[in-house]
Structure 1
Amino acid sequence: MEASCLVLLLRSCVQFFALPVYLLWYLGIWELLGKKAFPYFMAWQTVSYNNKMSAKKRELFSNLNDFASSAGTLKLLEIGTGTGSNFQFYPRGCRITCTDPNPNFNKFLAKNLSENPHLQLERCLVATAEDLHQISDASVDVVVCTLVLCSVKSIEGSMREVLRVLRPGGAFYFIEHVAGAPSSWSLFWQQIYDPTWNILFDGCYLTRETWKDLEKAGFSEVKLRHIQAPLNWVPAKPHIIGYAVK
């Protein structure tokens, strides 16, 4: 009870200092500004994130070609592509379809595509993870999703779409920040910052137990592990990383 009261008290303090942001959010101005400004923030932030997570990403994506179709070409769909920060880790000749609900990422996406000519761009779509109707059933070998499930409206709905578009035997690759372990300092600070964080960072939640959603989504196999990402900010350190096979 004492911990809960302390969390509520500190949460209120954070919200008090963020009152101008809450006012802009209430008036609908923050969301409008955020859609345009968020890509600039992510373009800066993903450089730092990739520097610290490069080894983890290379290890995770090292076996992508194992899921290439019988023709030998890997058809990859990335959900929430953002600036295209994962492009450098994809294998040569990979045919990629990009999706993101925010079209303001386009110029950053184009820059990363020009810097990664080893990829073959199929198309770029404005779409949410829960609605990939523009992608045919069982049409891709691999779906990739990094730091996206923290902000989707429905993880369950997103996983239904992932399973629909994956061919039998295809794989879903993920890296996501998640809720910290019970009674940990990470979870303590996540609970304090979560409401304000959600408004500041385009609907992102700090306290989602995403691994539970993946484990019950209906994949035939889930290879998942919990890690502490080498990041500076404690609440964002708890991560899950791995892949799941349809």
Structure 2
Amino acid sequence: MSVIIITLQLIVAVLTLPLHVLYYLGMWDSLAKKVHPHILVKFTNIYNKLMEDHKRNLFSNISDYASTSKELRLLEVGCGTGANFKFYPSGCRVTCLDLNPNFKTYLCKSQAENDHLKYEGFLVASADNMTPVADASMDVVVCTLVFCSVPSSPAVLKEIHRVLKPGGAVYFLEHVACTDESSWISFFQKVINPTWNLIFDGCSVRKTTWKDLENAKFSKLNLRHIIAPTSLKLINPHIIGYAVK
């Protein structure tokens, strides 16, 4: 890593020193878990409006993966505020899973607004250790803006593969590292990432999630790189698509 990037990282750290002090004292993690849902609900409303067409296209064929009973069983990993509920087909049985229990208030509000779905429950668990979810029990798994915050994408994909029925699919929409390492976006992602990771509860703007998906044991992978139409250029590089078990 260049001296310039390291120097700028230190400058950013100094400008956000109180956060780093709280982290050092062991006080930031619990505070961030409480604050993050309040920040995310506002971000989600804006993000959904900008990404609505992309999401509708992404989930347009989700009913194709319903089991033989024609009842789609769906697990949303990192469900957050329930931003994706309106895109799911009527009658879909949705299980919500998130590591942060503080999302539950916003999740209940989204559930009430989307009564075309059937809700199986809210599980508090990590994406890389979804032990409450049985093997081969889900037709579809959905992950949107999740892989940016997990310690190990391969571990999460292994768990997703475990809980999916044969022929089931995982749908994803994720912001990722800029593929053009010589670009200004890539440069500023490298500068801001350590502090960004702290502020946004483990989120990274430097994830190469597409590589992990390519290396995962799925029979089919439909993946595209897109530039999201957000005003925050650091997270504009995205991947979108689905993979079939």
Classify the TM-score, shorter chain: over 0.9
List aligned pairs for 1:134-149, cutoff 5 A: 134-149=132-147
Which residue of the partner structure matches residue 98 of structure 1? 96
Does 2:39 correspond to 1:45? no
1:188 aligned counterpart, secondary structure:
helix
Which residue of the partner structure matches residue 17 of structure 1? 15
Task: Output the CA distance in 2 between the equivalents of 1:13 and 1:232.
Answer: 24
Task: Output the CA distance in 2 between the equivalents of 1:183 and 1:143.
Answer: 35
Moved over 6 A (4+): none
2:178 aligned counterpart, secondary structure:
coil
CA drift at 1:5: 2.2
Which residue of the partner structure matches residue 197 of structure 1? 196
Deviations 1:31-82 (A, max 9, x none): 1211111111111110000010011000000000010111111100000001
Which residue of the partner structure matches residue 164 of structure 1? 162
Does 2:186 correspond to 1:187? yes
CA drift at 1:172: 0.4
Asked whether the equivalents of residues 186 and 238 of structure 1 are also in contact (C-alpha less than 8 Å), the reply is no
Task: Output the CA distance in 1 between the equivalents of 2:222 and 2:182.
Answer: 25
2:149 aligned counterpart, secondary structure:
coil
Task: Output the CA distance in 1 between the equivalents of 2:88 and 2:238.
Answer: 21
Asked whether the equivalents of residues 76 and 140 of structure 1 are also in contact (C-alpha less than 8 Å), the reply is yes
1:150 aligned counterpart, secondary structure:
helix
Which residue of the partner structure matches residue 239 of structure 1? 238
Deviations 1:3-23 (A, max 9, x none): x22212221211110111100
2:148 aligned counterpart, secondary structure:
coil
Task: Output the CA distance in 2 between the equivalents of 1:12 and 1:236.
Answer: 21
Task: Output the CA distance in 2 between the equivalents of 1:193 and 1:207.
Answer: 10
The residue identity in structure 1 corresponding to 2:109 is K
Q: How many residues matched?
A: 244
Task: Output the CA distance in 2 between the equivalents of 1:38 and 1:155.
Answer: 21
Which residue of the partner structure matches residue 52 of structure 2? 54
1:186 aligned counterpart, secondary structure:
helix
**RMSD, aligned CA:** 0.9
CA drift at 1:212: 0.2
Which residue of the partner structure matches residue 110 of structure 1? 108
Which residue of the partner structure matches residue 25 of structure 2? 27
The residue identity in structure 1 corresponding to 2:58 is L
2:147 aligned counterpart, secondary structure:
coil
> TM-score, length-normalised on structure 1?
0.97
The residue identity in structure 2 corresponding to 1:237 is N
Task: Output the CA distance in 2 between the equivalents of 1:212 and 1:186.
Answer: 20
1:13 aligned counterpart, secondary structure:
helix
CA drift at 1:108: 0.2
> TM-score, length-normalised on structure 2?
0.98
Task: Output the CA distance in 1 between the equivalents of 2:58 and 2:187.
Answer: 29
Which residue of the partner structure matches residue 206 of structure 2? 207
The residue identity in structure 1 corresponding to 2:227 is Q
Range with greater deviation from structure 2 (152-161 or 195-204):
152-161
Task: Output the CA distance in 1 between the equivalents of 2:102 and 2:47.
Answer: 20
The residue identity in structure 2 corresponding to 1:223 is N
Asked whether the equivalents of residues 149 and 210 of structure 1 are also in contact (C-alpha less than 8 Å), the reply is yes
